[in-house]
A and B are shown apart, each in its own frame.
Chain A
Amino acid sequence: MSTWPIYGLILAGGASKRMQRDKAALVYQGKTQLERAFAVLDRYLSRVFVSVRADQTSDPTRAHLPMIVDSVEGEGPIVGIRSAFAAHPDVSWFVLACDLPYFSEALIYPLVRARDAEGFATSLATVYKSAHGGLPEPLCAIWEPSAAPVLAEYQAGGGHCPRKFLIRHGAHLVDLPDPRALDNVNTPEEYSQAVAALETLAPMQLKIQYYALMREQAGRSEETLETSATTPADLYTELSARYGFTLSREQLKVAVNSEFSDWSRKLAANDAVVFIPPVAGG
């Protein structure tokens, strides 16, 4: 376990050339992508900043959020990451691109856990393995302070691509829980598709109660949470990633609204879900 904190950095300084619109300002489910990304990171990280260019500081999409203005020369995401390390050199940065509409809190825990367990000590960054080809995904990743000088050197040598940087220097790779979760949006067509897909995936509130070993491992006896999981099986996958449950799904039963349920039942808003570990009455 490292002793330094993780701050969040949302990269919102891109040119959005193919989209021909500011990607940070694209609206999904009634909120801009920047607001959505900020809200998710802000729930779990102690501080979150938006990375901006000097000419964006009064932009209305960005101006109300804490900002880190580019302070190093050059182009591309590495400028934003290096500027964050320049502002706060002793923290790790959860770096997130602003064109990932499917990003959700379900992606935070697997990365943080892998980073705390190993990544922070062994690698410059802990990153997801792309579902398309297995390459590192540098823009939904936790970057360690040890990366800062190496990034500076890389840029001085003419490099600008964070993915190539991580391929060259090695990153701690983590499997992506959902292959589509980091699909990005570059064109107006992809934007319309994402808007439509998110309509059907609108997160709903569920109530979860925990008993016995599950209660101890979750550290709570109940919670209400927003999730895009649609079945108890998906929900257990999501919560296992968060709490590190030691029991596999095959060892459990599940109840919905105080009645035993199938794992593939379609959940509805405000359902109460209980995972039932092996019983021992009598």
Chain B
Amino acid sequence: MGFRFTQTAIDTPGARRELQDLGAGGYVSFEGWVRDQNDGQEVTRLEYEAFLELAVKEGERIVAEALRRFPLKHALCIHRVGSLGLGEMAVWVGVSSAHRGEAFDACRFIIDEVKHRLPIWKKEHYRSGNSGWVNCERCAAEPQHSHAEHHHRVASNPKEPV
């Protein structure tokens, strides 16, 4: 029950077992996978990074909200961090409930809120050799900064000669 991060592959049979309940008539899960392309670019791998302290708190709040809004038995979300290859699972959401309708709705609610609210970032690495932080680069205030030009040499460290 709740929300947690993992650095290693998500154990889905174990996660599913945490939702089992004799009063549950069914269970719905969602798995988010690393796709091989995004926005026209060929993706080769992803790196997930999280502000763990706040993300765990916010993730637990989302699951608690789902339990209040829908008549569920159990709900759990597990998010992976670190470097992921194509096809690997980045996030898993599962809920169990007496009837299927609320299970589908609650599962959808949790994954949508997780995507919008948790301080988690993903960096895509492309076949072209470039990389970019999703949602951060294209809308940046200075579009002339390409992915390769983030480092400013100017006096960013004390005593670095300028």
Contacts of B118 in A (CB 8 A): 279, 281
B60 to chain A, nearest CB (A): 13
Interface string of A237-269 (1 = CB under 8 A from B): 000001110111001010100111000000000
Residue of B nearest to A251 (CB): B139
Within A179-207, the residues touching B (CB, 8 Å) are none
Contact A112 B154 (CB under 8 A): yes
- Kindly state the interface size class of chain B when it binds its partner: 35 or more
Distance, CA A246 to CA B123, complexed state (A): 16
Interface string of B134-158 (1 = CB under 8 A from A): 1111011110010000111111111
Contacts of B140 in A (CB 8 A): 246-247
Contact A277 B136 (CB under 8 A): yes
Of the candidates A108, A209, A281, which one forms a contact with B120 in the assembled complex, judged by CB atoms under 8 Å apart?
A281
Contact flag A277-B133 (CB < 8 Å), given A46-B159, A108-B155, A259-B57: yes
Contact A258 B54 (CB under 8 A): yes
Interface with A: B13-21, B65-73, B109-117, which one? B109-117
Contact flag A255-B156 (CB < 8 Å), given A246-B145, A260-B54, A281-B79: no
Within A14-61, the residues touching B (CB, 8 Å) are 43-46
Q: Does A113 contact B (CB under 8 A)?
A: yes
Q: Does A109 contact B (CB under 8 A)?
A: yes
Q: Does B122 contact A (CB under 8 A)?
A: yes
Contact flag A213-B154 (CB < 8 Å), given A274-B54, A279-B118: no
Contact B141 A248 (CB under 8 A): yes
Q: Does B42 contact A (CB under 8 A)?
A: no
Contacts of B50 in A (CB 8 A): 211, 281
- Please name 20 further chain A to chain B contacts, defined as beta carbons within 8 Å, in addition to the given A211-B49, A212-B123, A212-B133, sorted by A numbering: A5-B162, A45-B162, A113-B155, A213-B121, A213-B136, A213-B137, A219-B151, A244-B154, A246-B140, A246-B141, A258-B57, A260-B54, A274-B119, A277-B135, A279-B118, A279-B135, A280-B115, A281-B120, A282-B91, A282-B120
By a beta-carbon cutoff of 8 Å, the part of chain A in contact with chain B is: 1, 5-6, 43-46, 108-109, 112-113, 116, 209, 211-213, 216-219, 242-244, 246-248, 251, 253, 255, 258-260, 274, 276-282
